């Protein structure tokens, strides 16, 4: 099992989480002390720190006006370049509120300079066993269509995921002697190719797919798709979402299709029978939102969407998971 945690846990984390709950939730939280609550750190945060905070068993209240258990996200430095003029979390705040309002993302109870207080959901993640569940797959596809249909008040231009790849490479070159590192770690794959040329090829190939630009999650993987016990499907981790090719989301979800979590070295491409129900549900929901203008666009035909899914899945797998696996194995030798 892969458990990601960003940064060390601060010694005063319990007091900090409790104070935030008192300040932003109020109500019965004001009658408690820090000893009356349970706080633990949750795994899964590649960028932020995530905590669970709830009443201890003996202090649970019948007053349901305020939540008695929540998730608290404490921001850490983002991995991608800031496009908000110095306030890198501006887009996060806007998106979090809109997704909460539309019931597509976690319900937001509080927003503060260094993080968010959200609803805590008892859930399981969208995994291999769920890929064969028609009802769940349909809901995932319809939820993605609703996300892509959102009109979000963030930048519509100049915030492409591919642009960030250029930034990553430039930053790496400024920090390290890349060629020396490649030789030192015996990374044969990286030594065989010129990264700048490969990135240029990748950007041209991705653009050639002609995937429409919509509001896009960017990291629409099973770990970010929560199948909750009581609230249906809830999607989380929108912090890198932006206006970009919708195909990124198709590629990210289908690159995990038919695989156990973390087994990215297992090569498996879903066939038409597995892709088609997802595509048909996506088209049905999009047509419900946009009407006939969606289906009249040839790029939204079943045939083109099937092609888009396959191409994006292959690019996503070959150019991310496969390369990552190769480099990891070579660096261990």
Arithmetic mean of pLDDT over the chain: 87
Is residue 1 predicted with pLDDT exceeding 80?
Answer: no
3-state helix, strand, coil in the chain (%, to 5): 50, 15, 35
How many whole angstroms separate alpha carbon 295 and alpha carbon 315? Answer: 26
The CATH homologous superfamily to which domain 124-332 belongs is Aminoglycoside phosphotransferase (APH), C-terminal lobe (3.90.1200.10)
Q: What's the pLDDT tens digit per position in 306-331?
A: 999 988 887 665 555 454 444 444 44
Q: Pick the residue with more confidence: 271 or 166? A: 271
pLDDT of residue 5 exceeding 90, the answer is: no
Nearest CA among 274, 264, 269 for reference residue 326: 264
Mean pLDDT of 130-156: 96
Task: Kindly tell me if the per-residue pLDDT of 171 is higher than 90.
Answer: no
pLDDT at 82: 57
Residue 312: predicted pLDDT:
83
> Does residue 271 surpass a pLDDT of 70?
yes
Lowest mean pLDDT among 19-23, 55-59, 201-205, 244-248: 201-205
CA-based nearest residue to 81, from 7, 139, 163: 163
User: Is the model's pLDDT at 58 over the cut of 70?
Assistant: yes
Greater confidence (295 vs 167) lies with: 295
Residue 211 or residue 47, greater confidence: 211
Residue 242 predicted with pLDDT over 60: yes
Predicted confidence (pLDDT) per residue in 172-219, tens digit: 888 888 889 888 988 888 888 888 888 888 788 778 888 999 999 999
Give me the half-sphere count of Cα atoms (radius 13 Å) on the Cβ side of residue 126. Answer: 31
Tell whether the model's pLDDT for residue 240 goes beyond 50.
yes
Q: Which residue, chain included where needed, has tokens 């990291």?
A: 219
- The per-residue pLDDT for range 280-289, each reduced to its tens digit, is 999 999 999 9
Please give the average per-residue pLDDT across 43-68, as a whole number: 86
Q: Which CATH class is domain 13-120?
A: alpha beta
pLDDT above 60 (res 4): no
How much of the chain exceeds pLDDT 70, in percent?
86
Q: Where are the domains of the chain?
A: 13-120, 124-332
Helix (H) or strand (E) run with residue 66 in it? none
**128-159 burial, b for 16+ CB within 10 Å, e for fewer?**
eebbeeeebbbbbbbbbbbbbbbebebeeeeb
Q: How confident is the model at residue 31 (pLDDT cuts 50, 70, 90)?
A: very high
Q: What is the pLDDT of residue 319?
A: 54
Using a pLDDT cut of 90, give the percent of the chain over it. Answer: 56
Is there a contact between 282 and 300 (Cβ–Cβ < 8 Å)? no
Structural element, H or E, at residue 314? helix 302-316
Rounded mean pLDDT, 125-151: 97
What are the φ/ψ torsions at residue 12 (nearest 5 degrees)?
A: -100, 25
Query: With contact defined as beta carbons under 8 Å apart, do 258 and 274 qualify?
Result: yes
pLDDT at 100: 97
Question: In whole angstroms, what is the distance from residue 189 CA to residue 325 CA?
Answer: 11
Tracing tokens 């937001």 back to the chain, one arrives at 108
């Amino acid at each position: 099992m892969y458990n990601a945690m960003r940064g060390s846990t601060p010694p005063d984390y319990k007091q900090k989480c409790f104070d935030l709950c008192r300040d932003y939730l109020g109500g019965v939280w004001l009658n408690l002390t820090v000893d009356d609550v349970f706080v633990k750190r949750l795994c899964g945060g590649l960028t932020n720190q995530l905590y669970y905070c709830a009443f201890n068993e003996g202090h649970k209240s019948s007053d349901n006006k305020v939540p008695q258990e929540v998730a608290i996200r404490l921001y850490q430095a983002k991995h991608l370049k800031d496009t908000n003029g110095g306030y890198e979390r501006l887009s996060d705040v806007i998106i979090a509120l809109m997704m909460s309002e539309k019931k597509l993302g976690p319900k937001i109870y509080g927003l503060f300079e260094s993080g968010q207080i959200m609803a805590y959901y008892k859930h399981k993640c969208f995994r291999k066993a769920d890929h064969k569940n028609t009802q769940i797959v349909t809901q995932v596809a319809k939820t993605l269509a609703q996300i892509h249909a959102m009109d979000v008040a963030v930048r519509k231009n100049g915030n492409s995921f591919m642009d960030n790849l250029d930034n990553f490479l430039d930053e790496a070159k400024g920090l390290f002697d890349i060629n020396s590192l490649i030789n030192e770690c015996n990374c044969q794959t990286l030594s065989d190719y010129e990264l700048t040329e490969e990135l240029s090829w990748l950007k041209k190939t991705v653009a050639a797919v002609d995937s429409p630009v919509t509001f896009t999650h960017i990291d629409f993987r099973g770990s970010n798709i929560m199948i909750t016990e009581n609230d249906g499907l809830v999607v989380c981790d929108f912090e890198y979402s932006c206006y970009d090719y919708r195909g990124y989301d198709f590629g990210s979800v289908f690159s995990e299709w038919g695989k156990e979590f973390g087994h990215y070295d297992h090569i498996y491409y879903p066939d038409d029978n597995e892709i088609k129900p997802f595509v048909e549900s996506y088209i049905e929901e999009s047509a419900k939102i946009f009407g006939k203008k969606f289906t009249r666009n040839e790029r939204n035909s079943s045939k083109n969407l099937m092609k888009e899914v396959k191409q994006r899945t292959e690019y996503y797998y070959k150019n991310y998971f496969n390369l990552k696996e190769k480099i990891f194995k070579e660096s261990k030798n």
